[in-house]
Amino acid sequence: MLALAACAALLAAGHARAAEPAPSEALPVCRLDPRDSTKLAVEPCQPAPPVQPRRAVTQVIGRMPAQRAVPPAVVMPSLPPSPAVPMPSLPQPIGSCDPGGCRDASGARYNGAGNATLDANGRICHRNGAFVQCF
């Protein structure tokens, strides 16, 4: 049994050596193909040797910054409900118009020329054909 295990170990070691690539000195330095710059001229290849050796630098590992405490959430009081937006009045039929404005069927005066007029309270009113509506 021991002999079988030793034989298996030798075969595995021999197989591992066969899978290892050849030493890097045998490979040429990588260069681009002059006809197609997206490919290498020869594959496999090794990277070019450094122009200068790397200088030794001590590794500096900084500390993580201290975590600040999260400020407490400020509870804002809820706003009071806003007043209801007044709805525009219903369009009023126009009775007659003159160069200074128009009068509706009840006799109320709308001052202004064209489609934009003002009623007696100063609200902006819009004239559309035979009707006027104030906002």
- Each residue of 19-64: pLDDT tens digit? 445 554 689 999 999 999 899 999 899 998 888 888 899 999 998 8
99-111: pLDDT as tens digits: 899 999 889 999 9
CB 125 within 8 A of CB 118: yes
Residue 18, φ and ψ in degrees, nearest 5: -70, -30
pLDDT greater than 90 at residue 93 = yes
Cα separation, 45 vs 28, whole angstroms = 5
CB 132 within 8 A of CB 126: yes
The pTM is what? Answer: 0.38
Q: What is the pLDDT of residue 33?
A: 92
| Mode of pairing for the β-strands spanning 124-128 and 109-111 | unpaired
